[in-house]
Chain A
Amino acid sequence: MRKPVGAPTPPYLLIAIFVVLAGIIVTTASVLYARQQRQMKELRYKDLQSIAELLTSRIAQWRGARTMAAQSAALACAEVYAAVPSSASRTDGLLRTVLRAYVGPQEHVAVHFLDRRAASVVHADSGPCPVESVRGDSPRLHEWARALALSAMQQRSAAWSGLRANRPGGYCLDVAVPVAGPTGETLGAVILSVEVSQGLFRLADGWQAPTNSMQALLIMPADGAMVRLRSGAVPRHTGRRSPEPLDERDVMVVQAVNGRTGHLRGPVPQSAEAYGHIAPVPGSDWLVLVREDANESNEPARAFGGLWITIVLSCVAAAFAALVAIWRNQRAREYRRLYESEVEQLRAEREAFESRSRLELIMNTIPQRVFWKDRESRYLGCNRPFAMDAGYQNPDDLIGRDDYAMSWKENADAYRRDDQTVMQSGEPKVGYVEPQIRTDGTFSWLRTSKVPLRDPDGKVTGVLGTYEDITAMVQAEEALEQKNRELTGVLSAVSHDLRTPLVSLTGYTGEVRTGLEELRSALTGVPLPPDVADRIREILDRTMPSDLAIIAANAERMNKLLSGVLTISRIGRMELTIETLRMNDLVGEVAASHLRRAQELGASIEVGNLPNCRGDAVQITRVFDNLLSNGLKYLDPSRPGRIRITGQVQQGNAVYCVEDNGIGIRPEDQERVFELFQRAGQPSAEGEGLGLTTVRTIVTRHGGRVWVESSPGEGSRFYVRLPRRADDARAENRSKTANSGPGSGPRTDR
């Protein structure tokens, strides 16, 4: 019965908007984050690069200084050997002085003087930097030392070796310079070795890493070693100052050894990933690698990113909250709508129920019986009064039955005929009277109407009938008719019975008069005493004829009154033949019949153009005859009489006016003139006082009305309103063209 108005639809649009918004926010955030990261990285790289460059320049500076000092010391030593034979006892003293001048006292220095074939050491001031290895009994010169010495001698200039580990934790630098004799011949070569470890480490210790995770490595690829410079993670003075072998697992170190310089990023042994920068130390093959843990270096950025994430998450949360709020709102609205539609539906159902029950109430309360049948004249429904007529309590009990199953089965054929007529013609049949036999066997008169029932396509599906029980009305009419008949009979009888004595009265009055005449002629010539004769003559000639005349006049008056009563009662009984009356002709003839009388009175009669009406020609003629004679009767003798008859159509009726300029009627008499035997306070005027009563009786019988407007001393206007039909207008048009004027042509127009 109730259909759902619609489940709440998910807010697709909102979800889409949310997704797009979230995407934009996330994308923006990630772009910003990446840019931040990049900037941070750039910053980090720059820091690392600058630190590395600082370190390399420092190392290069230090190395240059040391090299210069070592070379100078070596050249001085060579000059010592050139000037003083190495076998001399004061050679050692000279060498130490020279070395002290060029090299710091803390540094370990060793001087070796090799012969000119560089095959053996001629003289040595050996320290912890040997050039020979002792194998067996005889020391053996290192190959690198021999090559270095030969190189210096051949080039006649200083030659350098790389940093050399001379002992655990110690590095030394070796420089070879040739020793030339006074004539320029080569005497041999001096190799000066300076241990630089302590200086290098001091240099490294002078660098303070800005973060704990930052690390600096000095890589010496040619030596396959690296020195870990001081870092935050390594405590001071640990004593671990020896170079380490290059770590094969350290990707950055490998990259550095392979010649990569610049920014680096990759895994390191200590941490998952690191940023780094590798810079070469000028003037050497050394490299400095400065690196930092990526995670640690990311901390600020991560914090920054965290903010972004927080913002994004907040936005997402806010958007979600908004979404939820919107969705809930929408759900609420949908529920509201659903609720309202439910309420609306309930109200509609309630109204439908109420209107249905009201309709049922109306149907069951009205006196009219209502029923409807299908095409086969089977009952589909009816109201309660109809069911009661059929002898059922419940209208539903009739459904499916037909008239042959009813108490009025004898009428069923006629009913069915009407049903079929209505259904086949599609035309309603309205207001006809038919009989019906009730369940108790009584006989009812019905005024029935039947209309076809149609489906939406206009096809006739059945018939709807209504009727009302007019039995009482019919009976009342019959009773009234009976009473009317009785009344007429009574009137007629009474007037007859009244006339009977009247006839006797007049008749015997005549007898008396005859007797009187005879008496008078009998007495003629009979001598009588004079006093008696006068007395008798008085009676016979005056008193008695006068008395008899009074009796006769009153009898005659009585007779006229009775005639009037009879006339009126007869008019009431007379059958009317209603037809369309051409009033121009009809009134014209009436006027013509009064023309002589009018001429006698010096009066004029005018007849205007009159509309047609419906009526009985004889009776309507009588109406205008009476009105005209009435008008002529009450003319004012002091002025020329004028009677005018006009007519017009008002609201579908014909209204005629007979107007005179007679003596008029006083307002208090204007209604009484239509009453029986009233003569408008003019007892002297002739007439029975029946004319206007007759007029009113006739007009009323025609369903019309007659009334008077009058001003005493000016005249009266008698109005007659008579019914008229639509086609009377056409008849008028025809009559205008067909007839030349009043008085000619047929009186009526059918």
Chain B
Amino acid sequence: MSAREVAILIAEDDNDHAELIMRNLKRAGLLNRMIRLTDGQQTLDYLTGNTAEGPPSGALLLLLDLRMPKVDGFEVLKQVKESPRLRRMPVIVLTTTDDPEDVQRCHDLGCNSFITKPVMTDRFMEAVTTLGLFIKVVEVPHLRIYERAE
């Protein structure tokens, strides 16, 4: 299995940000499938298969914004890391806040990486590019469908 098969979930309520992230990821050379999720609830629904499409299959990577309507990123992170099926899915928190408390909390909840959205264009590009490279090289485990039952 190659890294290209990994689907990247972008949980981001802001359309502009999502577009920007996707554009930069692509520019960095990522050809992965990207799935846009607009809020925490939708993210959880997608991950647990609570949709018309059913549960996702294959390897996933979650780019998670913390501040989202309905269910925030902390809750999503918490549920993901508490779920035996989703636990091993890499979660990269990509958010605007740089509050140390938030950073600490995310690490405590088990996030794999925490990236603050830089405002400076160059730094943002750099970060997203790094992220792209990271995603390219990282070995993302497949989610097993049968575990969906729990």
Q: Which A residues are closer than 8 A to B by beta carbons?
A: 492-493, 495-497, 499-500, 502-511, 513-514, 552, 555-556, 559, 563, 566, 570
Contact = CB atoms under 8 A, between A and B. Distances in A.
Contact of B121 (A496, A499, A506, A566): A506
B99 interface: yes
The binding surface of chain A is classed by DSSP as helix
Contacts of B136: none
B20 A496 contact: no
Given A496-B97, A511-B20, A506 B119 contact: yes
A552 B121 contact: yes
A385 B20 CA distance: 68
13 contacts: A497-B67, A502-B119, A503-B118, A504-B14, A506-B121, A507-B17, A508-B20, A510-B121, A510-B125, A511-B20, A559-B120, A566-B98, A570-B100
B53 interface: no
A554 B17 CA distance: 19
A716 B101 CA distance: 36
B122 A559 contact: no
Contact of B119 (A493, A496, A497, A555): A555
B67 A503 contact: no
Interface in B75-133: 95-101, 117-122, 124-125
A510 B122 contact: yes
B96 A500 contact: yes
Given A493-B67, A496-B67, A507-B20, A570 B99 contact: yes
Interface string B3-36: 0000000000010110010010001000000000
A510 B95 CA distance: 18
A556 B117 CA distance: 13
Given A496-B67, A496-B96, A503 B117 contact: yes
A513 B122 CA distance: 11
Nearest to A569: B99
B124 A499 contact: no
Interface residues of B, number: 22
A125 B20 CA distance: 216
B96 A499 contact: yes
Nearest to A573: B101
B16 A508 contact: yes
A511 B23 contact: yes
B17 A503 contact: yes
Contacts of B96: 496, 499-500, 503
B99 A499 contact: no
A551 B122 CA distance: 14
A36 B98 CA distance: 138
A507 B22 CA distance: 12
A503 B121 contact: no
A497 B17 CA distance: 12
Contacts of A508: 16, 20
Nearest to A492: B99
B121 A513 contact: yes
Nearest to A559: B119
B89 to A, nearest CB: 25
B121 A500 contact: no
Contacts of B117: 499, 503
Contacts of A499: 96-97, 117, 119
Contacts of A503: 17, 20, 96, 117-119, 124
A493 B23 CA distance: 26
A544 B25 CA distance: 25
Counting from the closest, the 9 A-B pairs by CB-CB distance are A510-B121, A504-B16, A499-B96, A507-B20, A559-B119, A506-B119, A503-B117, A506-B121, A496-B96
B74 to A, nearest CB: 13
A342 B127 CA distance: 99
Contacts of B100: 570
A353 B2 CA distance: 99
